[in-house]
Structure 1
Amino acid sequence: MYRAGLGALFGSRLLLLEHVGRVTGARRYVVLEVVEHPAPDEYVIVSGFGERAQWYRNVLACPDVRVSTGLRRSVPAVATVMSQEEAAAVLERYARVHPRAWKNLRAVIERATGTTVDRLPMVRLKLTKGSREANR
């Protein structure tokens, strides 16, 4: 849907992250929930499957990514892993703002991983400065 230009149907709660496979170098795509949108050119996403998620491992190896969300399509961005303290603060805010969503999401993650969710790795996506799309 995102690649067809229909990402606006999902609003700003989801985004399509385009990243490069760390082994193959091939383009990879994943749709993720936006946990926080602190600035017009910044998004925070979470790895619900921890540090073993393939997209997470790929952005660690190559932080130059592209983001599609809402009306924005394939905007260049840089992915930066957040500290545990920053991630914990974001997760606390998310749980407070979206209590039902967090309750359901937490249950899904804990069932899938078999462990309790105390900390989740988060990534800040900063749209590239100077691009017309980043300033929308």
Structure 2
Amino acid sequence: MSLAARLLRTRWLVRAPIVLFRARLGFVFGGRMLLLEHVGRSSGEPRYVVLEAVERPSPDRVVIASGFGTTSQWFQNLQADPNCHVSIGRRHRVRAVARVADDAERAEIVARYRHDHPKAYAELSGVIQESIGKTIDEVPYVEVTMS
């Protein structure tokens, strides 16, 4: 397993940025990373995850990939309740609604990402393939619209 794939499975490391976002320091990540606050589908408790924005079609919309596919807890939680909060850049806990991109939208998102970020696309493709056995083209993409 590659170092990148191992790091993505290191819980304390992937959760460390949550502290910065909750302290309103998310701007240090620019608009590339975001804190997604969602509700646990079984517990009803708030849950937090830091994710990379694949693209930002507008200041109030961001697209994220579920790199671990449909088994990601945050993905399953958003399917149960699409209402969430997003912190990105200098914006903190903005109300938002999530929706899964359909197949045609996913193909367009991936094509733009491949074109705009070829090195990141290649690296992320390898990590996802190694981690879950799917390609970056196959994982679900979620568009989050902030209000």
| CA gap 1:46/1:117 in 2 versus in 1, 3 angstroms | closer
Identity over the aligned pairs, expressed in percent? 48
Structure 2 match to 1:103: 122
Structure 2 match to 1:126: 145
Q: Spell out structure 1 runs of 4+ moving beyond 6 A.
A: none
State the 1:25 CA deviation.
0.5
Whether the aligned pair in 2 keeps the contact of 1:20 and 1:62 (CA below 8 Å) is: yes
Task: Indicate the structure with greater helix content.
Answer: 2
- Residues 27-68 of structure 1: CA deviation (Å, up to 9, x unaligned): 100111111111111111110111111100000001000000
TM-score between both structures, scaled by the size of structure 2:
0.84
SS at match of 1:75: strand
The amino acid that maps onto 2:35 is L
Structure 2, unmatched stretches of 5+, are 1-19
RMSD: 1.0
CA–CA separation in structure 2 for the residues paired with 1:39 and 1:75: 15
Quick check: 1:48 aligned with 2:75?
A: no
SS at match of 2:95: strand
Structure 1 match to 2:88: 69
Structure 1 match to 2:44: 25
Aligned residues: 128
State the 1:95 CA deviation.
1.0
